[in-house]
Amino acid sequence: MIGGGVLTGLWQPVSGCGDHCRDGADRHVTPGVGTLRMVALAVVLVGGLLVVPLLRGLALRGVARAMLRVLGVRLVRRGPALKPGSLLVANHVSWLDILVLTAVTPVRLVAKGEVGAWPGIGVLAGLSGAIFIDRSRPKSLPGTVGEVAAALRSGRTVAAFPEGTTFCGANQGRFRPALFQAAVDAGAPVVPVSINYDSTAAAFIGDDTLFDSVRRVAALRSLTVTLVSAPALRPVPGADRRVLARAAQASMGVGGYRLAA
């Protein structure tokens, strides 16, 4: 069982990253190309909202891949294959992380409640069966952990961002242990996943709005995101979620990018 005193503490991490973290060294497309990408993204989103409810997982992956493609984002995948019924834990840099994970494997996302209100992306997340965390109600966290454990027991893959907020990539936050309890309770493997962008412009930090961030990404000449999965960690019954969280983060290497040799 989960210790209520630990899990009901206020869980609203704050990132020290901001506009100063972006180096501004990127090459950009012409304004017209950026605008066309934004229009194409809107078309894909509208089409996705029509198709996904009918076809679910397969269509959702296709929509996520199409959204990355029209934005000019190249996805590189490395590491062991992701198996169903795993808890994927990733560093968190951008709203693009949601598309990246969805494009790679059928997954239920754990996201802050605010994501559900985002235009388009929030709806798609909901259609994927996203599990939303209400960070203003810390007493609801044990219920969220139980929902994640139930999804894992049913064979679903669940993806979470244990840092609790976005960081610029060069910096990262500590993995919070709460959701690791779900893997312990379900006897599910934990797969650390490193998400690395080749541009600081991708970071969704500071006073960013979703629109401003999308427009900044659409203006980039190119953007490559590399997703690297580490070997699965298999918690024994009664494992300490704190130790599991530290082991998962350590396996991702310095900065959450490179795996330990």
What is the 3-state secondary structure of 111-153?
Answer: EEHHHHHCCCHHHHHHHCCCEEECCCCHHHHHHHHHHHHHHHH
Q: Within its chain, how far is the Cα of 219 from the centroid?
A: 22
Q: Using CB atoms within 10 A of its CB, is residue 78 exposed (0-12), middle (13-18) or buried (19+)?
A: exposed
pLDDT score, position 141: 86
Domain 27-250 has CATH 3.40.1130: yes
pLDDT score, position 222: 93
pLDDT score, position 54: 66
Helix axes 57-70, 96-104, angle to 10 degrees: 130
Is 193 strand, coil or helix? Answer: strand
Measured in degrees and rounded to the nearest 5, phi and psi for residue 196 equal -130, 120
Compute the Cα dihedral for 59, 64, 65, 66 and give only its sign. Answer: positive
The token pair that represents 155 in the structure block:
């064979």
Which of 60, 56, 31, 28 minimizes the C-alpha distance to 44? 60
C-beta separation of 182 from 149 below 8 A = yes
pLDDT score, position 178: 93
pLDDT score, position 129: 84
Q: What is the pLDDT along the chain (261 residues), one digit of tens a residue?
A: 333 333 333 456 777 787 888 887 889 999 999 999 999 999 998 888 787 776 666 788 898 999 999 999 999 999 998 989 999 999 999 999 999 999 999 999 998 878 877 777 777 777 778 898 877 777 888 899 999 999 999 999 999 999 988 888 777 789 999 999 999 999 999 999 999 999 999 999 888 899 999 999 999 999 999 999 999 999 999 999 999 999 999 998 633 333 222
pLDDT score, position 115: 80
Placement of tokens 């960690």 in the chain: 233
Compute the Cα dihedral for 254, 257, 260, 261 and give only its sign. Answer: negative
C-beta separation of 163 from 171 below 8 A = no
CA–CA separation, 203 and 199 (whole Å): 8
